[in-house]
Amino acid sequence: MPSRAKEIARHLHPSVTSIGVFVDATVDQVLRIVGEVGLGGVQLQGAEPPEMIEALRRARPGLFISKVVRMFDARSLAATATSPADAVMVDPKDPNDPGARSSPIPVDWLAGAHHGHLIVAGGLTPSTVGDVVRILHPWGVDVSGGVEASPGRKDVRLVREFVAEVRAAEHG
């Protein structure tokens, strides 16, 4: 799989940072693939402890590191406050059921977010993302299923609507 990722990454515009997604990989595995593919960052989606983030940072200064925090209730937000990651993505998706559609995180659960680079994911669509951006002012939003025509196939119209809603919320 790293060879396919490397092929994709070499076609990206230089202004695009390629991010590899890892679930419970070891530091050595992550570093090997980062070097092999030429990734500019990683997204850690498993149970990786803060010590792993610190080890990656020591080994590869400048590597962008995002950590996913699973939001199952409002108490889950506490994990964002102490994360040494460059960005924290909050996502309600159950890692044991990766094919399931997730519902949006209730905005009031995120009101006390303390990480400066908060990314909100899960259940976002063109009709829901505007409120999330207006209320929370996150550093970023992440969408997948909310802009799909069918599983794995993006709908260009929905992607455009999503981006337009984000921009309108940021500037409105």
Comparison of pLDDT for 2 and 12, the residue scoring more: 12
Comparison of pLDDT for 100 and 159, the residue scoring more: 159
**pLDDT value, residue 133:** 93
Instruction: Give domain status of residue 83, yes or no.
Output: no
Average pLDDT rounded to a whole number, residues 134-145 = 91
Mean pLDDT rounded to a whole number for the chain: 89
**pLDDT value, residue 79:** 76
Do 34 and 73 lie in a common domain? no
Q: How far apart are CA 24 and CA 44, in angstroms?
A: 8
Q: How far apart are CA 104 and CA 122, in angstroms?
A: 5
Residue-wise pLDDT for 33-69, tens only, equals 999 999 999 999 999 999 999 999 999 999 999 999 8
Do 105 and 140 lie in a common domain? yes
Angle at 70 between CA 82 and CA 109, to 5 degrees: 80
Do 35 and 8 lie in a common domain? yes
Instruction: Give domain status of residue 149, yes or no.
Output: yes
Q: How far apart are CA 42 and CA 22, in angstroms?
A: 7
Contacts of 146 (CB under 8 A, 6+ apart): 123, 124, 125, 126, 128, 129, 158, 162
Start-to-end CA distance of the chain, whole Å, equals: 42
**pLDDT value, residue 14:** 87
Contacts of 20 (CB under 8 A, 6+ apart): 5, 30, 33, 34, 37, 39, 41, 42, 43
Residue-wise pLDDT for 78-135, tens only, equals 777 788 999 999 988 776 665 666 778 888 888 777 678 999 998 899 999 999 999 8
Do 74 and 147 lie in a common domain? yes
Instruction: Give domain status of residue 116, yes or no.
Output: yes
Comparison of pLDDT for 26 and 172, the residue scoring more: 26
Q: How far apart are CA 39 and CA 2, in angstroms?
A: 10
Q: Which domain holds residue 130?
A: 68-78+93-172
Do 98 and 165 lie in a common domain? yes
pTM: 0.87
Of all residues in the chain, the percent with pLDDT exceeding 90 is 59
Average pLDDT rounded to a whole number, residues 141-169 = 94
Number of domains in the chain: 2
Do 43 and 104 lie in a common domain? no
Do 110 and 51 lie in a common domain? no
